[in-house]
Amino acid sequence: MPYDWRGFFAQRVYAVQPRAPLEGFEAAGWKLVYTDQPNEYQKARAQSTKLVDASFTLGLWIKEDGTIDDIVVGSPAWDAGLGPGMKLVAVDGRKWAPPILPEEIKAAKTNTKPIEITAEHGT
- The pLDDT, as a whole number, for residue 109 is 87
What are the boundaries of each domain within the chain?
50-120
Q: Pick 50-120's CATH classification: 3.40.640.10, 2.40.50.100, 2.30.42.10, 3.90.480.20.
A: 2.30.42.10
16, 11, 30, 21: which is closest to 3 by C-alpha?
11
Task: Tell whether the torsion through CA atoms of 62, 65, 67 and 69 is positive or negative.
Answer: negative
DSSP string, 10-34: IIIIIS--SS---HHHHHTT-----
Q: How far apart are CA 64 and CA 49, in angstroms?
A: 10
- The pLDDT, as a whole number, for residue 11 is 83
- The pLDDT, as a whole number, for residue 39 is 83
Q: Coil, strand, or helix at residue 119? A: strand
- The pLDDT, as a whole number, for residue 1 is 65
* pLDDT tens series, the chain, 123 aa: 689 999 988 987 888 777 777 888 899 999 888 887 778 988 898 889 999 999 989 999 999 999 999 999 999 999 999 999 999 999 999 999 999 998 999 888 898 889 999 999 988
- The pLDDT, as a whole number, for residue 13 is 85
